[in-house]
Structure 1
Amino acid sequence: MEESFEPRKVRDFGEIINDTFVFIFKTWKPLLKAYATICGFFVIGSLLATLLQQFRMMKGMREGFANVPRNPFGILSNMLGFEYIVAMLFSFMTYTVITLTTLSFIHLYREKGNEVPTVEEVWTFVKFYFFQFLGSGILMFILFFVGFMFCLVPGIYLYPIISLIFPIMLIESTNLGFAFSKAFTLIKGNWWATFGVQAIMLILITLAGFVFYIPMMVAGMGGFFTGIAKMNTLNVVLKVVIAHINMAFFVFPNIAIALSYYSLSEQKDGTGLMDRIKSFGKKDTGNPELAPEEY
Structure 2
Amino acid sequence: MSTTLQRKGTIGSIGDGIEWVRRNPILIGVFFLYGTLEFVAEILGPAGFGLSVVGFLVLLYLDGLVHVIGEQEATGATSDIGRASATVLGRYVSLLGIAIVYGLVVFVGFLFLVLPGIYLGVRLSLAFPACVIDDRDAFESLSTSWDVAKGNLLKLFGISVASFLVIAGAGLVTALLTGVGDEFYLTFLGVSAVVTAVVSPVVQFAYARVYLENRPLEKSAGTEDDAWGSTTDDGTRSERDDDRWDDANW
Normalising by structure 2, we get a TM-score of 0.75
Which of 179, 203, 209 is 2:167 aligned to?
A: 209
Provide the C-alpha distance between the structure 2 equivalents of 1:262 and 1:32, rounded to a whole number of angstroms.
Answer: 22
User: 1:109-258 counterparts in 2 under 5 A?
Assistant: 109-110=73-74, 113-188=75-150, 190=151, 194-213=152-171, 214-220=173-179, 232=182, 234-247=183-196, 248-258=198-208
Tell whether 2:1 aligns with 1:8. Answer: no
Provide the C-alpha distance between the structure 1 equivalents of 2:21 and 2:204, rounded to a whole number of angstroms.
Answer: 14
Structure 1 residues 27 and 264, CA gap change in structure 2 (3 angstroms)? closer
Tell whether 2:218 aligns with 1:259. Answer: no
**Structure 1: tracts of 5 or more residues without a match:** 1-5, 54-80, 222-230, 278-289
Structure 1 residues 178 and 220, CA gap change in structure 2 (3 angstroms)? same
Higher Rg of the two aligned structures: 1
Deviation string 1:103-129 (CA, Å, 9 cap, x unpaired) is 01112334xx41331332333234333
Provide the C-alpha distance between the structure 1 equivalents of 2:101 and 2:17, rounded to a whole number of angstroms.
Answer: 30
Letter in 2 for 1:30: R
Kindly state the Cα deviation for residue 44 of structure 1 after the two structures are TM-superposed: 2.1
Kindly state the Cα deviation for residue 274 of structure 1 after the two structures are TM-superposed: 5.6
Structure 1 residues 174 and 251, CA gap change in structure 2 (3 angstroms)? same
User: Residue in 1 aligned with 2:248?
Assistant: none
Task: Provide the aligned C-alpha RMSD in A.
Answer: 3.1
Structure 1 residues 238 and 144, CA gap change in structure 2 (3 angstroms)? same
Q: Which ranges of 4 or more aligned residues in structure 1 deviate by more than 6 Å?
A: none
Letter in 2 for 1:103: H
Equivalent pairs counted in the alignment come to 226
Provide the C-alpha distance between the structure 2 equivalents of 1:43 and 1:129, rounded to a whole number of angstroms.
Answer: 23
Structure 1 residues 140 and 25, CA gap change in structure 2 (3 angstroms)? closer
**In the alignment, is the contact (CA less than 8 A) between 1:7 and 1:259 conserved in 2?**
no
Tell whether 2:42 aligns with 1:46. Answer: no
Normalising by structure 1, we get a TM-score of 0.65
The alignment-based identity, stated in percent, is 13
Deviation string 1:151-180 (CA, Å, 9 cap, x unpaired) is 324323311222011111111101111112
**Secondary structure, aligned partner of 1:117:** coil
Q: Which has the higher helix share?
A: 1
Provide the C-alpha distance between the structure 2 equivalents of 1:197 and 1:105, rounded to a whole number of angstroms.
Answer: 21
Kindly state the Cα deviation for residue 20 of structure 1 after the two structures are TM-superposed: 1.8
Kindly state the Cα deviation for residue 148 of structure 1 after the two structures are TM-superposed: 1.1
Deviation string 1:27-63 (CA, Å, 9 cap, x unpaired) is 33332213424x444332222111111xxxxxxxxxx
Kindly state the Cα deviation for residue 270 of structure 1 after the two structures are TM-superposed: 4.3
**Structure 2: tracts of 5 or more residues without a match:** 224-232, 239-250
Structure 1 residues 99 and 254, CA gap change in structure 2 (3 angstroms)? same
